Amino acid sequence: MLPRTAARFAPAARLARRAPSIARLHSPTASTARAAVINISPALPRLSLDQREFSSSARVHGVKPFLLADIGEGITECEIVKWNVEVGQIIEEFDPVVEVMSDKATVEITSPFSGKVKSLNGAAGDVIKVGKMLCEIEMEGEGAEAEISKPVDPLPPTAPGNATAREPSDEKVTQPAPTEQPSTEQPSTERRGEKREVWATPATRRIAREQNIDLADVTGTGPQGRVTKGDVLAFVAAGSPSSQSASPPSSASSAPTPSLTSTSATITLPLSPVRKAMFRAMTSSLQIPHFAYSETLDVTPLERLRLSLNQHIPLRHRKTLKPAEEAQLARLGEWGVAEQSERMPEEKRFDRLTLLPLFIKALSLAMHEHPIFTCNLTPPSSTSTDHTLTRRSSHDISIALSSPSGGLYTPLLPSVNHSSPYTLASQIAHLQHCATTSSPPKFPAEFKGAGTITLSNVGVVGGTTTHPIVPPTGQLAIGALGRMRVEPRYVGKEKERAKEVARGLEELPFGEELKMEPRLLMDVTFSADHRVVEGVELAKLVESWKRLIEEPERIVGLGR
């Protein structure tokens, strides 16, 4: 009986030779198998049921790698922004695991299965290729396994080389207590409390790692306490405690070397995924022949219209309401007018209408007269060997937004032809909220994608005239607004008289002067893809747009 039992557990003994400490036993007939003790080598202790507690489980554990999948749009790599899990954490299916940033968007990746996180591949700021492992997750599967439920004390080994099995007995085996070795580990002098959460871009975190800087020690001067690159560089220049403690002590026997203070120290800064995308896009844009067209707008009438519209912002769009206005909303709800009584989410409300929604609405109306700008350029495909124009029924206009964390984004305003200036203002407020509260920005899905034309309000920063570059996304044109300024101008009949006087067709009476008025002027420049758009087509679009801005009553008359 004993040799047969020993033969039955011989495979387990061979497996146990490879194990670091304890062999797991498996009997092919779980209902009649009896526990056995295997003597393998002097380095492996014997197991006895009368001295150990065993529990039988019908689950086996398998570690499965979780790979970074292709999230579309030709993405080949992503940068880790933040881990939402830690090693040893139990997660369920669809739980958020990691937040990654690609060239085009920030994506939150969820777990495809339940289990326990065994390892994480990379830290925040690391770049992971598509198809490479993000983390390892231990999953449970069907099977039969005997596992040790409590830690056990080692037992004295028997003679090496004899793999025998015997029945459990009541004999007690004593084991000399191990000699306690003095610990050589020195107490850490850098133990601190729980670290605070630090807001910083991936590029800033990479600089901190290269300089051996703990971001928790750096005081952030950015929005909401965000740590910027300048904060880290200033911290390095001031001499960080971590970098000073990491330097080894100098040898007493070495001769002192005079130190030279460098006034031209440099730091290598890697490109963030957003700047990498910008680098590739602008390089591709050099292949597009540009045609630029500039014009000066008199926005005085539009500004007066804006001030009037500002006094009549719908209650559901406004941030702050008076008690009487809240009661008015409640009465609308009683009549079942949900689209007017339900307030917009907080991030979509505004108390001040700007000129940008009016510019965008006027541009949409001009696109009705010039439908080529409702098209995007489609590259050759399997069904067509040539470039084609795809016309859209909706007017999809992108706007340029700069994020405080770095990077320029062009979210989409869909179906502008069906939106009011108030609706556009609400959407712009929402996009600005996304750009300033998350790093990098997380725009909703309906605002992603490329428009057929882009409008950039760079004038809020400064400058009069700029030269925008058409991005290689298939759109046909882009416009940039300069800063609004006040200048004297001839207006109305005085303008016509000034033309006649300039031509020599009229002479002013002695002592009479033409009157000038202060006007609000703004320079704009549009660029178009000259491979598809003719110069005259772009000029006609801009002139139609200009007439709508300088005569805003026409916007109401068109009724769109």
From residue 551, how far is each of 221, 308, 546, 547 by CA, in Å?
45, 15, 8, 6
How many distinct structural domains can be found in the chain? Answer: 4
Instruction: For residue 255, give the amino acid letter.
Output: A
Confidence of residue 438 (pLDDT cuts 50, 70, 90): confident
Res 513: pLDDT: 87
**385 plus 431 within the same structural domain:** yes
User: Same domain for 224 and 364?
Assistant: no
Residue 266: how many other CB atoms lie within 10 Å: 6
Specify the range with the lowest mean pLDDT, choosing from 160-169, 271-280, 459-468: 160-169
Residues 6+ apart with CB under 8 A from 216: 195, 196, 198
For residue range 224-250, what is the model confidence (pLDDT) as tens digits? 777 888 888 888 877 644 444 444 444
pLDDT score at 333: 67
| Burial label, 164 (beta-carbon count in 10 A; 0-12, 13-18, 19+) | middle
Q: Which of 80-84, 126-130, 547-551 has the highest average model confidence (pLDDT)? A: 547-551
Q: Could you tell me if 387 and 447 lie in one domain?
A: yes
Residue 365 lies in a domain: yes
Mean of per-residue pLDDT scores for the chain: 76
Token pair for residue 113?
Answer: 């299965």
Domain assignment present for residue 520? The answer is yes
Asked whether 357 and 310 are in contact (CB, 8 A), the reply is no
Condensed to tens digits (0 to 9), the pLDDT of residues 159-182 reads 444 444 444 444 443 444 444 444
CB atoms near residue 546 (< 10 Å): 18
80 and 211 housed in the same domain = no
- CATH at 134: 2.40.50.100
Expressed as residue numbers, the domain containing 210 is: 202-241
User: Could you tell me if residue 186 is inside a domain?
Assistant: no
Backbone angles phi and psi of 220, in degrees to 5 = -80, 135
The DSSP string of 46-96 is ---TTTS-EEEEEEEEEEEEEE----STT--EEEEEEES--TT-EE-TT-E
Residue 293: band (very low, low, confident or very high) from pLDDT cuts 50, 70, 90: very high
Task: Indicate whether 391 and 451 sit together in one domain.
Answer: yes
Q: What is the C-alpha radius of gyration for the chain, rounded to an integer number of angstroms?
A: 36
The predicted structure's pLDDT at residue 250: 45
Return the structure tokens found at 178: 């191990």
The whole-angstrom separation of Cα 125 and Cα 407 is 16
Q: What 3-state DSSP class applies to 310?
A: helix
In whole angstroms, give the CA distance from residue 460 to residue 62: 57
Percent of the chain with pLDDT over 90: 29
User: Do residues 70 and 218 both lie within one domain?
Assistant: no
**Euclidean distance between CA atoms 279 and 12, whole angstroms:** 59
pTM here is: 0.57
| Strand 408-409 relative to strand 477-481, pairing | unpaired
Model pLDDT for residues 364-375, shown as the tens digit of each residue: 999 999 999 999
Q: Are residues 523 and 442 in the same domain?
A: yes
12's tokens: 């387990």
For residues 302-308, average pLDDT: 94
CATH code of the domain in which 427 resides: 3.30.559.10
Q: pLDDT band for 422, please (50, 70, 90 cuts).
A: very high
By the 10 Å C-beta count (0-12 exposed, 13-18 middle, 19+ buried), 7 is classed as: exposed
Residue in 30, 36, 43 with CA at minimum distance from that of residue 12: 36
Please determine, for residue 50, whether its predicted confidence score (pLDDT) is greater than 60.
Answer: no
Measured distance CA(471)–CA(450) in Å, rounded: 10
CATH of residue 231: 4.10.320.10
| Same domain membership, residue 432 and residue 554 | yes
